[in-house]
Amino acid sequence: MNVCTCGSGADYTRCCEPIITGTEPALTAEQLMRARYCAYTKLQMDFVFESTHPDHRATFDVAGTRAWAEQSTWQGLEIISATQGGEGDEVGEVEFIARYKEKDINREHHERGQFEKLDGRWFFTEAIMVRKKPLTVVKVGRNDPCPCGSGLKQKKCCGK
């Protein structure tokens, strides 16, 4: 079995290949997202371009995207959530993390992909990048309970 790189666990020939080759349409925004990720891993930039909404293709750099995809080692796709984007919907959002290695550095591409149907077919419209949340620092006073859970005051425990 040739396991699909989209992370579904299904065989590629029954999963993303029919969508990428155009023999079957993506029925949901998530299916299109998975097929687009798979297309990056298999260097199918024509599909990535064609599955981008026509109103959003003007700035698509096929050669630059291909070069980036070729230089990356794809490590997996994690779907965080899918909002709308079902067979009966006209718009959808798929939040995902694509993991890859570039120049020996592990990287994560975390976005909320926006999708829209046009003439009954799903298209990618835009990416909304998800930034890591900053660490929140809680200020603990000397006489406050220690945040480690010991039950002691901060000054008598970790605050020494």
Kindly state the percentage of the chain with pLDDT values over 70: 96
Tens digit of each residue's pLDDT (9 = 90 or more) over 96-125: 999 999 999 999 999 999 999 999 999 999
- Is there a contact between 99 and 108 (Cβ–Cβ < 8 Å)? yes
pLDDT at 156: 81
pLDDT at 17: 98
Residue from 96, 114, 92, 111 nearest 27 by CA: 92
Total domains, the chain:
2
pLDDT at 150: 78
Q: How far apart are CA 102 and CA 82, in angstroms?
A: 27
Domain holding 47, by residue range, is: 12-129
Tens digit of each residue's pLDDT (9 = 90 or more) over 7-49: 999 999 999 999 999 999 999 999 999 999 999 999 999 999 9
Residues 33 and 112 placed together within one structural domain of the fold: yes
Tens digit of each residue's pLDDT (9 = 90 or more) over 86-95: 999 999 999 9
For the chain, where are the E strands, in sequence order?
A: 72-84, 91-102, 105-118, 121-129
Provide the residue type at 109 as one letter. Answer: H
76 inside domain = yes
Residues 94 and 109 placed together within one structural domain of the fold: yes
Cβ-Cβ contacts under 8 Å for 112 (sequence gap 6 or more): 93, 94, 95, 127, 128, 130
- Is there a contact between 93 and 85 (Cβ–Cβ < 8 Å)? yes
Round the average pLDDT of the chain to a whole number and report it.
Answer: 93
Provide the residue type at 52 as one letter. Answer: T
Cβ-Cβ contacts under 8 Å for 78 (sequence gap 6 or more): 7, 96, 97, 99
Q: In the numeric block, which tokens belong to residue 41?
A: 């891993």
Residues 93 and 122 placed together within one structural domain of the fold: yes
102 inside domain = yes
**Average of per-residue pLDDT across 75-82:** 97
141: confidence class by pLDDT, cuts 50, 70, 90:
confident
Residues 120 and 62 placed together within one structural domain of the fold: yes
pLDDT at 136: 66
pLDDT of 139 over the 90 cut:
no
pLDDT of 67 over the 70 cut:
yes
Provide the residue type at 150 as one letter. Answer: S
